[in-house]
Chains A and B, each alone.
Chain A
Amino acid sequence: MMLAILFHTLRRLRGAILGWGLSLTLMPILSISLFDTLASQGENLDKLMATYPPEMTIVFGKISGIGTPVGFLGLEFFGLMPFLLGIFAVIAGAGAVIADEEAGILDLLLANPLSRTTLFVGRTLGVFLALAAILGMSLLGMTLAQTLSQEMNLTFGQLLRAFFPLYVQVSLFTALALALSMLLPGRSLAAMTGGLILAASYFANSMADVNASLESVAKLSPIYYYPSSQALVEKLDWTPLSILIALTIALVGLAWWRFQRRDLRVSGESLWRLRLPFRGAKANEGGL
């Protein structure tokens, strides 16, 4: 039964998997095809970059060593990915279970001999697998793109090592959005809150490169603990990764715990509502 839920989740996400997967496959192919030109101008580029104001790093990340494979991929790909793919992670995580509930279908699904845990695990696993599929396609694209370059000579093992912490980081945002969807009144509010935390994490981490006093704020960002491009040249550092994985498990556990205990809402109901200013009629309490 869990497999039926899992396959249904993957079927529901297949458009997103293809769209994001193909985009993130083409992205390294296109950028790596330009790398040889940049590599031959490596020193000059580094000198040029050094003349740019440090605030540029807020948007583009650390831009030193652009003529090296590690510096180039760090700037062109791994620096941006936690944020870009984080958007998908947050949206997918926020809707993993709640989308059915808000569509009023969860009652029908859970009227079958299916425990809430089975449904929760099937849906959540589906989203994590979708993320893995997207990154898997991208990894494949990056591996293939190596053949287009004379200078880019990273091994599959090196690339895999860099993709793994990236996967862990975006999974954390999926888990965060999933937990928020169980605590907040609706999917859109959970996605919005998760998105704000994602953006704040990304920019806090980037700004800390410019202003050292912001480092304490950046430490709140999961992105701070593991720049993926670092894994291209170094062994995996399991200490920060273990913390991120533990946080992900804790957030998924919190979401599961909440889902086990609360009432299922039929469409239109919510657990509570934000009392926004300029709101007209009293919020609908939902049908009985």
Chain B
Amino acid sequence: MTVQYAIHAQNLVKNYGSVQALRGVNLDVRPGEIFGFLGPNGAGKTTTIRCMLDLIRPQGGTLTVLGINPQEDPVAVRERTGYLPGELNLYNNYTARGMINLLNHLGGNHADNAYINELAKRLQLTLDIPIKNLSKGNKQKVGLVQAFMHRPELLILDEPTQGLDPLMQKEVLRLIREVRERGTTIFFSSHIISEVEFLADRVGIIRQGEVVEIIAPEELRERALRTVQVRFKSPVDAQTLQVDGISVLETNAAGDRVSLRVTGEMDTFIKTLAHFPVRDLEIERPSLEEIFLQFYREPGGEA
């Protein structure tokens, strides 16, 4: 049976005592897409994910995963879902293989050894080492193998590349793209903006328990502020650079170095700059925090 949404949340509310963790999350994830979920610590990412697997129960709103209400039939949801928790803990007295086998038993023995070995090989994970002797990155690989091994319809990955070295991060991103090619829907949370840009078809931004926007990943940077340092061959009148979307932050005494803030697309800025003799140009990529700041800025101006 095909469903309209792989994940559908409407006005999802979750409180921990007086703390409002989710204040009405609205979210739609389409089947077969890669959906990135971005937000600072405490924004409600993990709470939303844990509701999807019925590990915690929301107090309000509706939620369906693969067309099923997780509270009504959690086992049916989990049968078709692979999950990597953000805070991964494993049994230290098991080997990596023993842990994976245990989870495979609990998953109904749907994973075949050949695929487990293939995943381990790709992630350069030695399966016969005790968990207690594994580094944080290698433990993360165990978590990834167990999430992928059943070839689930939906993968929910809470910070999938944390603790991995850059080369391994790229391998994991390739793996995620490959399984998407097979039709898997991927819902992942991340703090790494380049990862979200590379991977996601759409990005949901969560702030203080509310999804404030769902956008295409390229929009993330387009809408963010960039700081640009320009060195000119000769002094320029900085005021002439100040057009729509560009503001001057600082100019040196000689007038040949200008620091600018650019908002939106770079096209206007580059065309403006083309009228001047440029020696050097440096664009500072905005950090995730700066992007969040931009999204989270209240109409009044305070973030």
Contact = CB atoms under 8 A, between A and B. Distances in A.
Interface in A75-124: 103-105, 107-116
A45 to B, nearest CB: 48
A104 B143 CA distance: 13
14 contacts: A8-B102, A104-B85, A104-B89, A108-B85, A110-B53, A111-B53, A111-B85, A112-B78, A112-B107, A113-B106, A264-B55, A266-B87, A287-B41, A288-B16
Interface of B: 16-17, 19, 21, 41-44, 46-47, 50, 53, 55-57, 74-76, 78-79, 81, 83, 85, 87-91, 102-103, 105-108, 143, 146, 209
Given A1-B106, A285-B19, A113 B42 contact: no
A263 interface: yes
Chain A: interface size category: 20 to 34
B140 to A, nearest CB: 13
Nearest to B58: A263
Interface of A: 1, 4-5, 8, 103-105, 107-116, 263-264, 266-267, 285-288
Interface hub of B41, B74, B89 (most chain A Cβ within 10 A): B89
A114 B91 contact: no
A82 to B, nearest CB: 31
A109 B89 CA distance: 10
B55 to A, nearest CB: 5
Contact of B75 (A103, A114, A266, A287): A114
Contacts of B47: 288
Given A104-B89, A264-B56, A288 B74 contact: no
A105 B57 contact: no
A115 B17 CA distance: 26
A267 B88 CA distance: 10
A92 to B, nearest CB: 17
Interface hub of A111, A115, A263 (most chain B Cβ within 10 A): A111
Contact of B105 (A1, A110, A116): A1
